[in-house]
Amino acid sequence: MARFGYSIIKLDPDKTAKASGRELDISHKHAREVCKAIKGMLLDEAKTYLEDVIAMKRSVPFRRFKKKVGHRNDLQGFATGRYPVKAAKYILEVLKNVENNAEFKGLELDRCVIIHAAAYPGRKVKNIFPRAFGRSSPKVNTLTHVEIAVEEL
């Protein structure tokens, strides 16, 4: 089994809990924007936000990867946004894992705030895509790592 670390260090183990999803089959660009949106939220607030994104009631602001992205009325300050449903589903699972870890450690869930939420590209899965006249083209699928850490206030 591979060993991995977290990109956040020097956490107080008595007041924090963390969880990660490794090699998830989601877009790392969408996952980055979702993590940026939920960072700083309370656990319950973040869960309802992601459930609203999955139901396409609230949009996620796209700050970096925003070329040819439509504007949304529910966003203040940042006009461009999308509904990354698949990324929100996987990040909601990681959020539930970190909630279970916090409950196991004895932290009070009503006071837990997301202090770290990061997504970055993982390994690349390479395949070939058959083309006309016996040729082929490469097809590369990039997997994603997601990390979430919460702290009790």
pLDDT digits (tens, 9 = 90+) for 2-31: 688 888 988 999 999 999 999 999 999 999
Q: How far apart are CA 110 and CA 42, in angstroms?
A: 8
What CATH number should be reported for the domain holding residue 94? 3.90.470.10
Domain assignment present for residue 11? The answer is no
Angle at 51 between CA 48 and CA 57, to 5 degrees: 100
What average pLDDT does range 111-118 have in this prediction? 95
Angle at 55 between CA 53 and CA 59, to 5 degrees: 30
pTM for this predicted structure: 0.89
Ramachandran class of 57: left when φ > 0, alpha when ψ lies in -120 to 50, beta otherwise: alpha
Q: How far apart are CA 141 and CA 55, in angstroms?
A: 26
- Mean of the per-residue pLDDT values for the chain? 93
Q: What is the C-alpha end-to-end distance of the chain, expressed in Å? A: 34
Domain assignment present for residue 25? The answer is yes
Domain assignment present for residue 115? The answer is yes
- Count how many domains the chain has: 1
Q: Residue 32: its pLDDT value, please?
A: 95
Domain assignment present for residue 98? The answer is yes
Domain assignment present for residue 75? The answer is yes
Q: How far apart are CA 81 and CA 93, in angstroms?
A: 22
Q: Please give the residue range of the domain that contains residue 82.
A: 16-152
Domain assignment present for residue 86? The answer is yes
Domain assignment present for residue 2? The answer is no
